[in-house]
Amino acid sequence: MRDRIGRAAHDYFAGGAGAEITLRDNHAAWNRIALAPRVLRGVGERDTAVTLLGERRRHPVLVAPMAYQRHAHDEGELAMARGAAATGTPMILSSQTTTAPADVARAMGETARWMQLYVFRDRALSFEIVEAAREGGYEALVITVDFPLGGRRDREIASGFTATHPTFLNHGENLSPDVRHTRHDPDLTWDDIAVFAEASALPVVLKGILHPADAELAVQAGAAGLVVSNHGGRQLDTVVSGADALAPVIDAVDGRADVLVDGGVRRGWDVAKAIALGANGVLVGRHALWGLARGGAEGVERVLSDLVDEFDSTLALLGCRTPDELSRDHILTAPWA
């Protein structure tokens, strides 16, 4: 992959914060959960559909927001959108998209798209994102709350990645790591969430919650959903994985909002574990991105359809016909953990 996209882009996409302990643990944490199947339950007819933010979706997988996708493939977010749409997978478009949100919306067709928002010191830029979301028919605003500033990413610093494909916001300027990591407003508080909820008139999802007390505050702030996430291990090294943070957050939310999770999701059984713990949906980041880098829209389609097929067969092998039938009854702490 390094040869295909260059070392700097590769290390930007693949890398995490610090010594990448959390990055590695994100996938390992799913593997620490063992599954306890039930048998003889008549699972010939199955349906992977779930309800997310009140809408019925074909399956619980979404594409996570990821910046600068043209550095992975020439067609960037457009190819990601086509691959996602081909598999009925909602896509969350990064506010650092290198393709205009309106063009991505067209490529998604009837498939749901949500828009991710970074709140910058320069609020006008953030309101441009909100406006683009409204104009492009995006169905939710995903406000990322774990980025008061950029995490210290040793691998990215060593490789010196600079985003040279312009985003729709920065009007052509190159984004060196210094610029990328200091544009955000570190003074953002819970009070600011309502301003963006009101301006967008869209359901708001808060991405980057790990602590159950913050999950409670998110519900109180009116969030329709939240994403349990450590930003793919890219912000603060040694923080808890999404897999380990999930159950306490679900218990705190107690059905008052949708709960999604990300970090290290690679296999259909990872998705099943998340749903069994009580999540409504699962975001995949780098797994989809490597599909994009390898094969454009077709590469994304392959990765996502394999993941959903594997989720479907995991349902059968656990004795379930639908995601609703998954429960904590199917979960054990792995003896190998």
Ligand X SMILES: CCCCCCC(=O)C(=O)O
Dihedral angle at the C-alpha atoms of 47, 51, 55, 61, nearest 10 degrees? -80
* Segment near ligand FMN (CB under 6 A); pick from 31-39, 80-88, 227-235, 319-327: 227-235
Neighbours of 23 (CB within 10 A): 25
Q: Which of 183, 207, 267, 286 binds ligand X (CB under 6 A)?
A: 183
Q: Smallest distance, Å, CB 54 to ligand X?
A: 27
> 135 Cβ partners below 8 Å, 6+ apart?
101, 102
Does position 22 interact with ligand X (CB under 6 A)? The reply is: no
Dihedral angle at the C-alpha atoms of 70, 299, 15, 114, nearest 10 degrees? 70
* Catalytic residue from among 27, 59, 73, 231: 231
Q: Smallest distance, Å, CB 65 to ligand X?
A: 8
What three-state secondary structure class fits 59? coil
Does position 180 interact with ligand X (CB under 6 A)? The reply is: yes
H-only helix segments in 234-285: 242-253, 268-277
What is the identity of the amino acid at 59? H
- Give the x-and-dash track for 77-106 against ligand X (CB under 6 A): -------------------x----------
Count residues binding ligand X (CB under 6 A). 6
Does position 76 interact with ligand FMN (CB under 6 A)? The reply is: no
> 310 Cβ partners below 8 Å, 6+ apart?
267, 268, 269, 271
Q: Which of 153, 155, 183, 231 binds ligand FMN (CB under 6 A)?
A: 231
Q: 3-state DSSP: the chain helix, strand, coil percent, rounded to 5? A: 45, 15, 40
7-14 and 286-318 helices, crossing angle to 10°: 40
Q: Which does 180 bind (CB under 5 to 8 A by kind): ligand X, ligand FMN, none?
A: ligand X
Q: Smallest distance, Å, CB 12 to ligand FMN?
A: 6
Q: Which of residues 109-138 bind ligand FMN (CB under 6 A)?
A: 116
Residue 231 known to be catalytic:
yes
Q: What residue ranges bind ligand X (CB under 6 A)? A: 67, 96, 180, 183, 231, 234
Query: Which residues here bind ligand FMN, judged by CB under 6 A?
Result: 13, 26, 64-67, 94, 96, 116, 144, 207, 229, 231-232, 234, 262-265, 283-287
